[in-house]
């Protein structure tokens, strides 16, 4: 934690004193400790402010977050992208003075290129990062990256971490080739408590942690994420491996779509069935046929999902309100089974 804080201590904020808003230890397991430790290093020029408890993971009332920024004059916030996106989408945004906030940490979830641009436009000193609890929150940084690389990658490995991109058999793939992201270093976790099977699945015998994310590394060491390994799907008919980023970016570009998730359901005959789930913005209406027509106007046929699902709310699970992928797979499987029965009946 101290070494993380020492690294972030190198950042040169534009305005002093810096007021860093952080989640409390009750709702965050890493970034709050890192930011508080950084405040110790910068005790003359930084204050750390714990955001109120009503700024919870579910963000039921985004106004409480904006009110906190206004009252405390936050210049930096270490939270999660969905909080920032929800704030930018809020119809009450102009009611609060959030001009003091110039930077946020974008980490903890995949963010579409469209929303990432919105975040950087609003908060130009934003730091893009990548990590997980298993590596003490963060393992990459864009602290010394160019402007373009800050927007188009999750950064380069921190000095105390190693990162590589591997193929199906664990081999390191060449630069600019996709594969699974693996990481190791002193910040790596030792094991999952009382769960040797899960530990072995994540670390194997080499101590490299398999992150379950697909990415590419360029010649400078910067990493671009393409999606979750479990979400990599094979289009029907052609057998081409396609990552979900193109589908997700297209879905999120629709003015009525709030959130999108793409999954693949195995099909023994033709490959995986590509399924898109979307959650609409407040009071928006959109049919599955309209969503399909939108995709057909934007992408080639083989780039489009096979099934479209418009849900009032995406199913979520856990304290961090993550999308419940298993439940989505169950919904898709039932729809596909029903469609197959109708097809057989018509024959």
Q: What is the DSSP code string of 183-210?
A: EEETTS----TT-HHHHHHHHTTTT-EE
Q: Is residue 276 part of a domain?
A: yes
pLDDT over 70 (residue 345): no
pLDDT of residue 29: 63
Single out the residue in 90, 112, 128 at which a domain terminates. 128
98 φ, ψ (degrees, to nearest 5): -110, 20
Q: Is residue 210 part of a domain?
A: no
* pLDDT one-digit tens code per residue, 136-194: 777 888 888 888 888 888 889 988 889 999 998 889 999 999 999 999 988 888 988 88
**Which residues span the domain enclosing 240?**
232-346
| Better pLDDT: 117 or 177 | 177
Single out the residue in 104, 128, 152 at which a domain terminates. 128
User: At 3, which CATH number?
Assistant: 3.40.50.980
**Helix or strand holding residue 63 (H, E):** helix 62-72
pLDDT of residue 311: 94
Name residue, tokens 């609060």: 96
Closest by CA to 299, choosing from 345, 336, 262, is 262
CB atoms within 10 A of CB 238: 12
Using CA atoms, how far residue 162 sits from 111, 150, 156, 187, 277, in Å, is: 23, 20, 10, 10, 35
Q: Is residue 214 part of a domain?
A: no
| Better pLDDT: 104 or 27 | 104
> What helix, strand, coil percent values describe the chain, rounded to 5?
35, 25, 45
Minimum mean pLDDT range among 71-75, 212-216, 282-286, 340-344: 340-344
Mean pLDDT of 201-229: 88
Average pLDDT, the chain: 84
Minimum mean pLDDT range among 23-27, 190-194, 330-334: 23-27
Q: Is residue 221 part of a domain?
A: no
User: At 323, which CATH number?
Assistant: 3.30.300.30
Any bridge partners for residue 261, and if so which?
Answer: 277
48 φ, ψ (degrees, to nearest 5): -105, 125
Q: Is residue 309 part of a domain?
A: yes
Q: Helices 81-89 and 113-122 sit at what angle, rounded to 10 degrees?
A: 80
Residue 147, SS3 per DSSP: helix
Alpha carbons within 13 angstroms on the beta-carbon side of residue 188 total: 20
Q: Is residue 289 part of a domain?
A: yes
pLDDT over 60 (residue 205): yes
% pLDDT > 90, the chain: 29
**Helix or strand holding residue 6 (H, E):** helix 2-8
CA dihedral 91, 96, 97, 98 (to 10 degrees): -60
Q: Is residue 196 part of a domain?
A: no
Q: What is the secondary structure of 107-142 as a DSSP string?
A: -SS---HHHHHHHHHHSTT-EE----GGGTT-SEE-
Confidence label for 94 from pLDDT (cuts 50, 70 and 90): very high
Mean pLDDT of 221-235: 80
- Give the total number of structural domains in the chain: 2
Single out the residue in 78, 104, 128 at which a domain terminates. 128
Mean pLDDT of 284-299: 94
Closest by CA to 132, choosing from 55, 31, 46, is 31
Please state, in angstroms and rounded to a whole number, the distance separating the CA atoms of residues 111 and 103: 16
pLDDT of residue 164: 96
pLDDT of residue 11: 66
Q: Is residue 200 part of a domain?
A: no
pLDDT of residue 110: 62
Q: What is the pTM of this model?
A: 0.71
* pLDDT one-digit tens code per residue, 28-65: 667 778 788 888 888 888 888 988 777 765 566 788 88
237, 124: one domain = no
Please state, in angstroms and rounded to a whole number, the distance separating the CA atoms of residues 23 and 68: 12
Minimum mean pLDDT range among 7-16, 48-57, 98-107: 7-16
Name residue, tokens 């730091």: 127
């Amino acid at each position: 934690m101290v070494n993380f804080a020492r690294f972030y201590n190198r950042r040169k904020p534009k305005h002093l004193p810096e007021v860093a808003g952080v989640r409390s230890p009750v709702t965050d397991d890493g970034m709050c400790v890192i930011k508080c430790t950084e405040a110790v290093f910068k005790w003359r020029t930084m204050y750390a402010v714990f955001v109120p408890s009503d700024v919870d993971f579910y963000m039921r009332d985004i106004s409480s977050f904006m009110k906190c920024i206004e009252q405390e004059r936050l210049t930096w916030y270490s939270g999660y992208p969905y909080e920032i996106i929800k704030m930018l989408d809020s119809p009450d945004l102009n009611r609060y003075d959030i001009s003091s906030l110039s930077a946020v940490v974008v980490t903890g979830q995949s963010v579409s290129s469209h929303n990432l641009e919105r975040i950087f436009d609003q908060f130009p000193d934003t730091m893009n990062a990548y990590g997980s609890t298993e590596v003490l929150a963060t393992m990459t940084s864009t602290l010394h990256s160019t402007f373009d690389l800050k927007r188009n990658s999750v950064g380069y490995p921190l000095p105390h971490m190693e990162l590589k991109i591997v193929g199906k058999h664990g081999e390191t793939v060449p630069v600019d080739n996709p594969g699974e992201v693996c990481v190791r270093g002193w910040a790596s976790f030792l094991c999952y408590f009382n769960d040797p099977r899960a530990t072995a699945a994540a670390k194997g015998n080499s101590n490299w942690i398999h992150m379950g994310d697909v990415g590419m590394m360029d010649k400078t060491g910067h990493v671009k994420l393409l999606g979750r390994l479990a979400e990599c799907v094979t289009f029907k008919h052609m057998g081409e491996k396609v990552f979900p980023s193109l589908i997700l970016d297209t879905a999120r570009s629709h003015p009525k779509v709030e959130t999108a998730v793409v999954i693949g359901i195995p099909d023994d005959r033709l490959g995986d069935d590509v399924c898109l789930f979307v959650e609409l913005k407040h009071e928006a209406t959109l049919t599955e046929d309209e969503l399909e027509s939108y995709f057909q106007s934007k992408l080639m046929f083989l780039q489009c999902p096979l099934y479209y699902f418009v849900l009032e709310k995406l199913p979520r699970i856990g304290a961090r309100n993550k999308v419940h992928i298993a439940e989505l797979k169950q919904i898709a499987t039932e729809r596909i089974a029903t469609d197959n029965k109708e097809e057989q009946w018509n024959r």
